[in-house]
Amino acid sequence: MNYKFSDKFVRLKPSAIREIFKSLGTPGSISFAAGNPNPESFPVAEMKRFADEIFENEPVAALQYGITEGYGPLRELITARLKRVYNIGAPDDDLIIVTGGQQGIELSCKVMCGEGDVVLCENPSFIGALNAFRSLGAKLAGVPLDGDGINLEALEQALKDTPRAKLLYTIPTFQNPAGITTSLEKRRAVLGLAKKYDILILEDNPYGDLRFSGKDVPTYKSMDAEGRVIYCGSFSKILSSGMRIGFLCANKALIAKTVVAKQVEDVHTNCLFQMICAKYLSECDLDAHIAGIRELYRKKAGLMLDALDRFMPREVSFTRPEGGIFLWCTLPDGVPLGEFVRRAGDKNVFVVPGTAFTADPDEPSQSFRLNYSMPTDEEIVKGIKILAEIAKDMIAKA
């Protein structure tokens, strides 16, 4: 059968990262490719106890259809936490529970962008979001990232050049893939540009709770006085990624439209896990749990940075994240990235090439992403040594 896929999907490639997952079965392989949280971050015993209690006491609520906006007690608990931790929540804001941040990103674009409208994004950016925008027929305009966030001159130029720009998608804190955090000054300037050119900001913040050094920077949403920011959060990196619970907080009018769009997609987010999540938030100390994850990632990031400092040739540069789960390495010009990634794979060390994260899939890259949340301490040191040997050899031959 010769299937004639829709124009939107015929161009979409499978995520390079999911593809790399398929080659990870080999014993002894070391993966810096995944974006998974460390399983130590899953509170298994509590989740089991809450699931048992729910099936004992409230089985119908867990098994029946729920409402699209989300499980009431969970919405209240998240709203309160957003206010307490991030000072987010204006009087005319509302909140919807979504099936992971991934769905929140996709729904936001779906309700705001028509075919041919443009989403501006950091370049590089999160592949799941880029593919969601592409799948909706939106056009992408990538804006380069500096060490302190999106390049402001390039952003303003893109806004001038792109009359159909509707949305700026940004991951301001511990960016995926680059591990970079946007400075407060830049956030203020970006908000000013969004106002000047009248676009919305979609602030994606799944890693914001995972700071292990430096000082918190206020979110865009907390500085938003006019309903211009859609805030997307997730429990994937702090409780469980398989649970698939995220949320959007935005002006009521935006959330009302998002509710309609979600009804079409999946009616509502999984009731049992919303109830388990609500019990966790009301009965356990999430902040203490997060403190444990931060400590784990502080150690792992430190170990990886230390190994990079010791073994990687100094022509290779890398970011020094203050939180989150990724860092971003850049090879010098003249060292072909594709060959580097292939040679690493031949030695059973897996990294994701920067080409997987570019707004324009044909744009070349000299960078690759390293994840430190999943590998063991031994794997981090051994894997970085292997990458450093390959880099040394290739630099010598370049």
Ligand X SMILES: Cc1ncc(COP(=O)(O)O)c(C=O)c1O
Binding site for ligand X (CB under 6 A): 35, 100-102, 126, 128, 171, 176, 204, 206, 234, 236, 241, 246
Contact yes or no for 329/316 (Cβ under 8 A): yes
Q: How far is the CB of 102 from ligand X (least distance, A)?
A: 3
The phi and psi torsions of 138 (rounded to 5 degrees) equal -75, 150
Beta bridge partners of 308: none
| Cα 158 from Cα 143, distance rounded (Å) | 8
Minimum CB distance to ligand X smaller for 191 or for 243: 243
Nearest approach, Cβ of residue 245 and ligand X (Å): 8
Query: Which residue shows structure tokens 């799941």?
Result: 128
- Tell me how far, at minimum, the Cβ of 190 lies from ligand X, in Å: 17
Q: What is the nearest approach in angstroms of ligand X to the Cβ of residue 100?
A: 3
- Closest approach of ligand X to the CB of residue 320, in Å: 19
Neighbours of 232 (CB within 10 A): 27
User: Which residue, 278 or 394, has its beta carbon nearer to ligand X?
Assistant: 278
What are the φ and ψ backbone dihedral angles of 170, each rounded to 5 degrees? -140, 145
Smaller CB separation from ligand X, 204 or 224: 204
The Cα–Cα gap between 24 and 320 comes to: 26
Select 35 or 321, whichever has its Cβ closest to ligand X. Answer: 35
Amino acid identity of residue 265, one-letter, is E
Q: How far is the CB of 182 from ligand X (least distance, A)?
A: 13
* Residue (70 or 101) nearer to ligand X, CB: 101
Residues in contact with 57: Cβ distance below 8 Å, sequence separation at least 6, in sequence order: none
Please, what is the minimum distance in Å from the beta carbon of residue 301 to ligand X? 16
User: Residue ranges of the alpha helices (H) in the chain?
Assistant: 7-10, 16-22, 44-57, 59-63, 72-86, 100-112, 127-135, 152-161, 184-196, 252-266, 271-283, 286-311, 337-346, 377-397
Instruction: Choose between 100 and 354: whose C-beta lies nearer to ligand X.
Output: 100
CB-nearer residue toward ligand X: 340 or 357: 357
- Nearer to ligand X by Cβ, of 206 and 321: the residue is 206
Which lies closer to ligand X via its Cβ, residue 126 or residue 340? 126
Q: List, in order, residues 6 or more apart from 178 with CB less than 8 Å away.
A: 122, 124, 145, 319, 326, 328, 369
**Minimum gap (Å) between residue 321 Cβ and ligand X:** 13
Q: Considering only CA atoms, which of 130, 114, 141 is closest in space to residue 12?
A: 130
Q: Which residue is nearest to ligand X (CB)?
A: 100
Is residue 203 exposed (0-12), middle (13-18) or buried (19+ Cβ within 10 Å)? Answer: buried
Contacts of residue 359, Cβ cutoff 8 Å, sequence gap at least 6: 121, 123, 124, 125, 130, 140, 141, 142
Q: How far is the CB of 41 from ligand X (least distance, A)?
A: 13
Spatial CA neighbour of 228 closest among 155, 158, 170, 164: 170
